[in-house]
Amino acid sequence: MKKILAIEDNTVIVKILQHHMRDILFSIAVHPDEGIAKAIEDHPDLILLDIMLPDRGGFTVLEELKKRNETKDIPVLMFTALGSQDDIEKGMKMGAIGHIVKGMESIDVVAQRIRDLLGVSEKNNNGSHKKQKSQTTKKSSKLAEEKDAPQKQKIIFFVEDDHFLVQAYRDMLEEDASIALWIAQDGDEALTYLSKPPPDVVLLDLMLPGKNGFEVLTAIRSSRQWEHVPVIILSNLGQHEDIEHATKLGITDYIVKANTRISDVAARIRRILFPPVSM
């Protein structure tokens, strides 16, 4: 089995990749020193390296990896939110084999690029090869899907700006034909949905472009149509004051992204959508 070491402080992103690449063994290092130590010890087939890391940047880590005899031949793929041409050229000159900008490509495309670098093809549960599913991320297509969703479907309104996370939840939840997702990628866009009939549940990030999640939540609770819709906060803000503030505004659940598996979040959503019938 091929091994990937992700030197990345956003563990949620790595967990999403793990979910889509279950035939590849992942390990995660949050801090640079931990990442270098794991690279020496495990000698993975590929290193995914973020540029923005705690304590020191990814370029410093890349430089050290390429200087050490134990790690200099391990392929390193820069995997970061920084996508300037200068950053890309700098990484390539230092020995990286490629550069992926988070959120610029779908998770399926990213997974396929990684598989190509590793020389492995995707397989289904029966071991046979399967074609990559085509995904559309254009807003017009999303809106068309929302309008065409049958009324019998349960609607989840997901307010989240992380493209990877959106697709991961869409893939998992829409495997059930009785569930459809509406997507808003910033707070201002989310507010435009309040003129629509209410969904069955809202999944809401707090850190958003434009209006933040608290402002969106306040608007939901001020809407006559939406005021009683269950709202689940899904955020990396896990401080007591954030949870207390959200609770006072009227939420159903509060989930910290980094501490919870996507499958567990999906299970909690389903319990709200399809509560057990009392006998």
**What torsion, rounded to 10 degrees, do the Cα atoms 77, 78, 81, 84 define?**
-120
**Per-residue pLDDT at 240 exceeds 90:** yes
Q: Does domain 3-118 have CATH number 3.40.50.2300?
A: yes
CA distance 50 to 57: 8
Pick the CATH number of 139-273 from 3.40.50.2300, 3.40.50.10790, 3.40.50.720, 3.40.50.10490: 3.40.50.2300
pLDDT band at 138 (very low <50, low <70, confident <90, very high): very low
Q: What is the mean pLDDT of residues 206-213?
A: 95
- Of the listed ranges 60-74, 75-89, 116-130, 132-146, the least confidently predicted one is 132-146
- The confidence score (pLDDT) of residue 33 equals 94
What pLDDT is stored for residue 279 in this prediction?
A: 60
Beta bridge partners of 4: 26, 46
Q: State the span(s) of the chain assigned CATH 3.40.50.2300.
A: 3-118, 139-273
Instruction: Measure the CA–CA gap between 95 and 87, rounded to whole angstroms.
Output: 13
Spatial neighbors of 118 by CB under 8 A, at least 6 apart, are: 2, 4, 24, 45, 46
| Percent of the chain's residues with pLDDT above 90 | 60
- Does 45 have pLDDT greater than 50? yes
Confidence at residue 214, expressed as pLDDT on a 0 to 100 scale: 97
Give residue 128's pLDDT: 40
Q: How far apart are CA 241 and CA 150, in angstroms?
A: 39
Instruction: State residue 132's pLDDT score.
Output: 41
Task: Find the radius of gyration of the CA atoms of the chain.
Answer: 20
**Does the pLDDT of residue 112 top 60, yes or no?**
yes
